[in-house]
Amino acid sequence: MAFISSTRAIPEALQVPRHVAIIMDGNGRWARRHFLPRVAGHKRGVETVRTMVKACMARGVEYLTLFAFSSENWRRPEEEVSFLMGLFVSSLESELNKLNSNGVRLKVIGDLSRFPPRLVEVIRQGEELTAKNSRLTLTIAANYGGRWDIVQALNHLSSQNPGKAGAYSEDDLAPHLAMAYAPEPDLFVRTGGEQRISNFLLWQLAYTEFYFTDQLWPEFDDAALDAAIDSYRCRERRFGRTSEQLAAILAPAATDDA
Ligand code: IPE
Ligand code: IPE
Ligand code: MG
């Protein structure tokens, strides 16, 4: 099923964000504050993931997308990278059955070709096991980069249309993006105080509402999510239109009298 593109049509602005995308940042700083090694922060971060999956389901969010490892995170010290790979495997192994019984569909986006074979296998098993679930779609972005996504989509599209050059539209490209199975995010959250995208969902965030918090990912909780959603609710999502146009759509009678 194709979802509405925010640049091609006007999506519905819902009270509860249908899709929340989060950059889970600040694990290392959380660990340092507690005089622990960085990897202890990553371990704690997995607990926040568990909390957020439950919290999103309870609030009626249908898609939760989490940035777990960027295409640039390979630049980190080797021990940290290999710890993270091990943590992905062990977390997936221990959580899969619970996710499945709670109706969660797991998806992993990113270039899996650089991952250890065991990790790729667990990901594939998890995606297969949960493929028919529909309560919440949990997407983990791993070795993901927004630029990588656009380039892989373009390569995919052009390989299907040999000889056709220079005449592609947004609608041609969109189905080849890694998250074509999901609507565009309504709410983007970044913990840890930085105000940047760090090569996350470049294409898909075109009209997403942004929310930045200084809270570190291991300390992000239900109340913090509610604060983000409250902030989202106060936004006027104009998608290029004027406030007056929106007011006329929302309360046509009131504007007729004016
Ligand atoms: C985010 O926390 C987790 C990953 C990028 C894997 P960081 O590890 O970036 O934590 P800080 O930014 O150093 O505090
Ligand atoms: C972004 O965090 C990537 C993830 C959370 C997975 P980083 O900590 O890697 O981002 P930068 O380097 O500070 O931009
Ligand atoms: Mg960071």
Residue type, 231: S
The sign one gets for the Cα dihedral 121, 123, 127, 129 is: positive
Res 258 pLDDT > 50: no
- Taking the whole predicted model, whether its pTM rises above 0.85 is answered as yes
Whether the pLDDT of residue 255 is over 80: the answer is no
73 classed as catalytic: yes
218 ligand 1 Cβ < 6 A: no
Ligand 3 is an ion; its neighbours by CB within 5 Å are 25
Residue with tokens 């007011």: 247
Work out which ligand 2 atom sits closest to the CA atom of 76.
9
Distance 161 CA to ligand 2 centre (A): 35
If one residue of 24, 25, 46, 109 were mutated to test the ligand 2 pocket, choosing by the most ligand atoms within 8 A of its CB, it would be 25
Percent of the chain with pLDDT over 90: 91
The structure tokens listed for 136 are 């919440």
Please tell me if the CB atom of residue 174 comes closer than 6 angstroms to any atom of ligand 2: no
Is residue 69 within 6 Å of ligand 2 at its C-beta? yes
Domains in the chain, ordered, with CATH? 19-257 (3.40.1180.10)
DSSP state of 102: T
Q: Is the pLDDT of residue 252 over 80?
A: no
